[in-house]
Structure 1
């Protein structure tokens, strides 16, 4: 079972997500909370695989909560819940460690599949959305310079793998493109994340966009 915690200050949103996700035989909503601090408590109690986190909440906001979740020994995969996919706070949340985001207008039939994707550790973020988020960054030029310095430490093969991450490709698709085994690509991904100081594939993908590797 995929264990999910929902954190949103609107009870109706929580109820909607409970209903939709609860209809899947392999997903269980184990708890819900209505602010960031209560969300952290719910995560500690329920030990979920996936957290759906709103950003704009009273008290502790979602961004702060995501930063706290990232410090846990075994953090869950956190998906940002947002109304607009170009929200500045979304970009900050991704840099803080969120796996991806869900727009609140996501059709119910797609929601279950996206939660399953996140539970497997894959990024829930389309390349087009990533482009909009990076373009919206207020410090894009400085981010570009930082990213170029980071990628300068990578080997040619690691750069190729990072480019694939920036395009939202899975390990299998990167392996096909580079004519490597999936296990080899997995090793390259791990080393690349370590060199870049990234906590997950999403952060590495943003570095690729900032560095101009992925259009």
Structure 2
């Protein structure tokens, strides 16, 4: 434990206050304070040595420093009790209501008899759960409606449907819905005669000034 060095005091006086019994053989260094509170008594026995700057105060009873006890520089002894004979208190030691056995050595910088501080196990509060981060886009933008699903592609027509559609278009262009059957179908000779008439009309259109050959004459 680190102890700061004690500073020398310019006070060469020993301060004594209250009901204090000080033996003539006691060695008291400069700057020592010896005092007793009302209704209390301080007894400093023979051969006691008290270092520079020490403070000894009797409070609520009698404080006795037995024969040959040594109190180092800067010692603070307060309360009621006994510092045993030939006991040694190191420098900068604090004693409250002392009960020091005879011949006991107390290391410097010790604190004895402090009952004002009570240690107890304190349950620490559990840390609060960390909230999950929220995306900035989700916090700023409102809920958007889902886009409509695309319509399925049209089913291509089958071969049978294609043939039916072609037949329907041909019937619409020709102006007929049924083919002639039986007696309504023209004969082969009528078809040839009709073809020759069409050819004759076509030739007359091409050559209006010449007479086309008559097929019935049999001349070339």
Normalising by structure 2, report the TM-score. Answer: 0.24
Which structure is higher in helix share?
1
Q: Rg bigger for which structure?
A: 2
Which structure is higher in strand share?
2
Which structure ranks higher in relative contact order (CA pairs < 8 Å, sequence separation ≥ 6)? 1
